[in-house]
Chains A and B, each alone.
Chain A
Amino acid sequence: MPFIRKVHKWVGLLIGIQVFLWLLSGLVISLLDPAKVSGQFLASPAQLSAQNLPSGNLLEPQELAQDQLEEALSIGLVMNRGKPVYRIRRSDGVILLDAVNGSLVVTSQADAVSIAGQDYSGDGAIASVERGTAPDMETRNHRGGYWRVNFADDVNTSLYISAVDGRVLERRNDYWRVRDFFWMLHIMDYPGRNDFNNALLIGVALIAIWLGLSGIIMLFGRFTRHDFYFLNVFQVGKMKVITLVDAEGESVRRLKIRQGANLFLALAEQGTDLPSVCGGGGDCGKCRVKLESPNLPEPNPTEQGLIPKALQRQGFRLACQHHVADDLRLHLPKNRSQ
């Protein structure tokens, strides 16, 4: 058990702060409303009905510029902002070709502003429009060029509109940005905020598991029946007599303590504070007292590490390591602070 304790506190010292950050970031993420994080709360309801294709003359795929179709994964005739276009999906992204004249279709700044204005249901005005060619932190799941349309509202909404097909790629706002920051802390991917299989996270998680395992093992050793006496409405349980003896060997006090109580805590409860730094953890060895009893408890491994052999034989024990089993005479240390 002292070894398990040692593992627990050293692992706690090593990575306790990260465990705190995991719990804190987990809490923040679950507290944030997903509809706000996704920007849905400031989005107009989606128009579900897709437009029918027109009946007039349109180009066939064979009539398009064939160099645009090389390595295409699919070629689809679809409606884009009221016009029939060929949507060419390629491994490097999507392009649109006009189905009437075959020319490349792009989403202009004016188009992007109008798309963003239709999608946005908040009351902020458009503050600025930026063109992006490579994905930034807020569009990291997309490839290809985009327009970033910024709105002047309380949550700094930015809509990202694809510069290719005019789709709304992302709706970002300060809720999302807070969430993303805590997500970064949670998965410990500080540059990319994306990869939860990174070596740092794996390493820390492999260490942290020992904090949990050692803690659970200690949980079994730490609780005794006495800890649950508060559930016992009749407060039954045998009382034992502890006689406190001062340095001169005079008996100074007699305490009645319920059988099974932790000696250190029971004395503290009754106003007799033994010296301690760690508060009953078995770390400091300061609550050392000499016990006299017909059946003196054997020193446990923690005590064997903190009390010299000779003193162990004289009956010295750590009060925090024992539960009251029988009547005892307890010699208070000289330097006991009252």
Chain B
Amino acid sequence: MTLIVKTITRLTVGLILLYGIYIVTHGHLSPGGGFPGGVIIALSFIHLMLAFGKDLALKKLSESLASFFESFGAIMFLTIGLLGIAGGYFFFNFVLKGKPFNLFSAGIIPLCNIAICLKVGAGLFAVFVALILLKVPIKKK
């Protein structure tokens, strides 16, 4: 890729990652939540891969690590739900709720947001790596 793209990528890719983490953790106070935050984090890694080629991006986050994160996020989400059975019904909100408008309020919701963010981000990055690594043999017809 050209020099302009490489310079701008080096400057902004850390900001994109930080912005995605901000949207995920403030999911219960301002619009956003787990789903768009996870997609933004996946987009930051895809941006790195598009500008610098796939070897450098795969050094930062290899495929086995991405698949581990995705399964870990799914299992964490299920565990948080199943633990609520001890309280009465499925997905019972058992963590105590602090004052509103603080970062640590609202019980179970921030933990669920983090689990969903890991799952969505790692899954979409794995899909993109699979699309890029497929080598197309050049047919001479």
User: Does B bind A?
Assistant: no
